[in-house]
A and B are shown apart, each in its own frame.
Chain A
């Protein structure tokens, strides 16, 4: 079985300050991990993915995440928040060979204030 836990349902930051969205995963096998973003009334967009290559993964729009096996974590970071980053973020796990179906966390709503 696989699961993800997003530790914060809401995060609020000021524009220009760092962003940290926390995610812990549970998996019996080597997982693939993803972060997706969902803007209001728009589809889910892939931000970045980890699939057993480099543990520090860079994604679009300046986001990055670090896979830490010892901590079973895959936290999402960005050095400087922009107003356009305000959205819902989902941490996602899948297992290779298990149909690659995705298991989503409950989401973190990111608010960016002036």
Chain B
């Protein structure tokens, strides 16, 4: 299966520690998105890349969050000095650019569940 993959699937960390998540998109997709989903809510947009360029960041993405996609393939999301409020499911999605299709659908990975104790 060549879908979107995310690692790790679960992460438990202590408040104040740094964590890093990885996302591997579908290989021909040059757009990559990060979302955050808290309990009982729909996912919320955090940031997205087209190839290696980070084109937009949500106001939800505080200075403690940084995302990279250095070679336009996989992406990492790092959270520094984690807080209990960072506990959530972090979802990655990828898509083909709009010029190539009329559909714009995004394909999601299984997510990384972060618990900050």
Contacts and interface: CB of A to CB of B under 8 A. Distances in A.
B56 A106 contact: no
B55 interface: yes
Interface string B28-45: 000101010000111111
A67 to B, nearest CB: 14
Bin the interface of chain B by size: 20 to 34
A100 B98 contact: yes
Contacts of B104: 32, 49, 51, 94, 96, 100
B55 A106 contact: no
Interface stretch (B12-20, B67-75, B80-88, B106-114): B106-114
- Number of chain A interface residues as a range: 20 to 34
B43 A51 contact: no
A101 B42 contact: no
Contacts of A45: 108
B45 A43 contact: no
Interface string A81-114: 0000000001010101101111111110000000
B33 A43 contact: no
A95 B13 CA distance: 36
A104 B43 contact: yes
Interface string A50-73: 010100000000000000000000
Given A51-B104, A97-B98, 13 more contacts: A36-B108, A43-B108, A43-B110, A45-B108, A51-B103, A90-B42, A92-B42, A99-B56, A100-B104, A101-B48, A102-B45, A103-B45, A107-B41
Interface of B: 4, 31, 33, 35, 40-45, 48, 55-56, 91, 93, 95, 98, 102-111
6 contacts: A34-B105, A43-B109, A44-B93, A101-B56, A102-B33, A104-B44
